[in-house]
Amino acid sequence: MTQDPAGAPKRPRRPAMMTPREMDSQPSSLDPAEVSEVAHETAAVLVGAGRAADDPELTRRLVELVDELGMSTIAQLWADRAPVSLPGALWRLYTIREWVQRDSVGAAMDYDVGRHHADVSHAVAGAAEPPSPEALRELVDAILTGVFDGDLAVALDRAAAFCRVISIGRAHRADDDDGYDEAAASAATHSASALLSTAQDLSRAAAAWRAGQLD
């Protein structure tokens, strides 16, 4: 543990977890009109193929799509799409999976705090108890699996609930840093707000899917 100039021990910083909105700012070098068309086509093809096939291996590959293609490739296609659109919703789901994979320990800490203040969202998300890092990795994979092999609206609602629990947990942990580490508290508060916005986007996308208006 490091010490500040006065010799007092400093709390170790948590690894940063980029939210979907923060990753939305990733630049794209492709023509915007072409990207938009390709984004909607690829999203429709992926979801359509996954839902039409009764193939667990195909579903697994779709869930692990970012592992194969890389986040930058997915970002070029989907990052700039409207939140309430199929590619925009998929972008948020894959981004959630990516940062949980990268920092499952931090995600589990935030979720563990948040679940005590968001019983309904915790129940909707369906995380195991205790919400260990491994359990959260399995949860986000299960949510993505539901996109291709289940009720897509339910998958979006579960992802929204997951983000709400994380957001609340992160906000409470920001309160713990307030007055002790102002920079960490400010960053955590900003991240919690962004995650709450992502949850709202996913809930709206779920409603649009149910209405037959998510494309």
CA distance 103 to 91: 18
Predicted pLDDT of residue 84: 97
DSSP helix/strand/coil, 14? coil
What are 23-28's contacts with CB under 8 Å, separation 24+? 23/71, 23/75, 23/79, 23/95, 24/79, 24/80, 24/91, 25/79, 26/72, 26/75, 26/79, 28/75, 28/76, 28/79, 28/80
CA distance 3 to 171: 25
Would you list the domain boundaries of the chain?
20-210
What does pTM read for this prediction?
0.83
Q: Enter the tokens of residue 213.
A: 């208006």
Predicted pLDDT of residue 173: 78
CA distance 127 to 165: 10
Predicted pLDDT of residue 57: 96
Predicted pLDDT of residue 9: 44
CA distance 40 to 115: 35
Tens place of pLDDT for every residue, the chain, 215 residues? 444 444 444 444 444 455 554 544 445 455 777 878 999 999 999 999 999 998 999 999 999 999 999 999 999 889 999 999 999 999 999 999 999 999 999 999 999 999 999 999 999 999 999 999 999 999 999 999 999 999 999 999 999 999 999 999 999 877 776 667 778 778 888 999 999 999 999 999 999 999 999 99
